[in-house]
Amino acid sequence: MTTFIGVDLAWRSAKHPSGATVLQGGKSGVELVQIADPLHGIEAVLAFVRNHATDRTIVAIDAPLIIVNEHSQRACETLVGKRYGSRDASCHTSNLSLYPSAASVHLAKELEREGFCHAPLSGGSRVMLEVYPHAALVELFALEKIIKYKKGNAAAKRSGLRLLQNKLAELADADPPLLAGPTFQTFISTDLQCLAGQRLKDYEDAIDSLICAYLACYYWRWNSVRTEIFGDVETGYIVNPCGALIHVRASDGIPAKTI
């Protein structure tokens, strides 16, 4: 059994909490084990990972894990924007001028000390990777545009989150399948009308972390077959699904591409 941890990291400001999720399983399916209460600060995120990591663990993080450029965008961000910008899935810019001491980079270095290696260098049983949920969802579900659940008023966010709930339920038919166990069913059927303000934002963070955890599992399942690496470990990278048709449990995939 392998453990998959997803982290929606609040890396720009310690004032905001992070979301984190744990999945466990293998090729026949993964099950939602735990969704963390909001985690405040990098040390809380590290503690969560340490508490749930096993000898076989993949951690997927929505945040820039490597930043070495002084200005402009990282090359991986530009490449993702060129591929998915027309579908509103361009990346935010990260550089050392904007974020000279990014909490996400600190987290990555701490995870390296815990024995995790970056995905492009993966060869061990503990791996971490940077992901971008908007681009991943566009690719997984062949969307014409991103699902808009982060901006607008509360009603607009609820509408987007409701659509996202429905889409994630479809992962029961994916390869690997996200099993519809009781914890997942309870989470995905949350009544969004009961959520507002910070509680609505916390749910958004949690669902983002669930997406990240699934992407960790997807990378583990398909690795060199159905994933694409934008960038590299020298300048920063983003791992994304590649040509995925989630409704077909294919044993043969398409070649992965490294840009």
38-72 pLDDT per residue, tens: 999 999 999 999 999 999 999 999 999 999 999 99
Give the closest residue to 136 by CA, choosing from 219, 74, 57: 219
pLDDT at 90: 96
Question: Would you place residue 153 in the very low, low, confident or very high pLDDT band (cuts 50, 70, 90)?
Answer: very high
pLDDT at 57: 98
Name every residue whose Cβ is closer than 8 Å to that of residue 160 and which is 6 or more positions away in sequence.
Answer: 147, 148, 149, 150, 152
Please tell me the distance from the alpha carbon of residue 183 to that of residue 67, in angstroms, as a whole number: 36
Cβ atoms 94, 122 nearer than 8 A: no
Residue 254 lies in a domain: no
Task: Tell me: pLDDT of 251 over 50.
Answer: no
Condensed to tens digits (0 to 9), the pLDDT of residues 2-46 reads 999 999 999 987 789 999 999 999 989 999 999 999 999 999 999
Residue 91 lies in a domain: yes
pLDDT at 247: 42
Give the closest residue to 238 by CA, choosing from 12, 61, 23: 61
Strands 29-35 and 57-62: unpaired
Residue 246 lies in a domain: no
Residue % of the chain over a pLDDT of 70: 93
Task: Tell me: pLDDT of 76 over 80.
Answer: yes
pTM of the model: 0.93
Residue 57 lies in a domain: yes
Cβ atoms 136, 215 nearer than 8 A: yes
Segment 96-102 long-range contacts (CB within 8 Å, at least 24 positions apart): 96/67, 96/68, 96/69, 96/70, 96/71, 97/70, 97/71, 99/11, 99/12, 99/64, 99/67, 102/11, 102/63, 102/64, 102/67
Question: Would you place residue 152 in the very low, low, confident or very high pLDDT band (cuts 50, 70, 90)?
Answer: very high
**Mean pLDDT for the chain overall:** 92
Whole domain around residue 81: which residue ranges? 2-241
pLDDT at 254: 39
Residue 230 lies in a domain: yes
Residue 157 lies in a domain: yes
User: Can you state the percent helix, strand and coil of the chain, rounding each to 5?
Assistant: 40, 20, 40
Task: Tell me: pLDDT of 252 over 70.
Answer: no
Task: Tell me: pLDDT of 259 over 80.
Answer: no
pLDDT at 256: 40
pLDDT at 248: 41
Cβ atoms 136, 8 nearer than 8 A: no
Residue for token digits 């990260």? 94
Please tell me the distance from the alpha carbon of residue 9 to that of residue 208, in angstroms, as a whole number: 10
Please tell me the distance from the alpha carbon of residue 66 to that of residue 109, in angstroms, as a whole number: 9
| Token output for 222 | 């398909």
Helix pair angle (133-140, 197-222), 10° resolution: 60
Calculate mean pLDDT across residues 232-242: 96
**Count of structural domains, the chain:** 1
Q: How far is CA 22 from CA 25, 72, 106, 180, 214, in A?
A: 10, 34, 21, 14, 9
The more confidently predicted of residues 84 and 249 is 84
Residue 163 lies in a domain: yes
Please tell me the distance from the alpha carbon of residue 196 to that of residue 202, in angstroms, as a whole number: 10
pLDDT at 244: 55
Condensed to tens digits (0 to 9), the pLDDT of residues 107-131 reads 999 999 999 999 998 778 999 999 9
Please tell me the distance from the alpha carbon of residue 77 to that of residue 238, in angstroms, as a whole number: 8
Residue 16 lies in a domain: yes
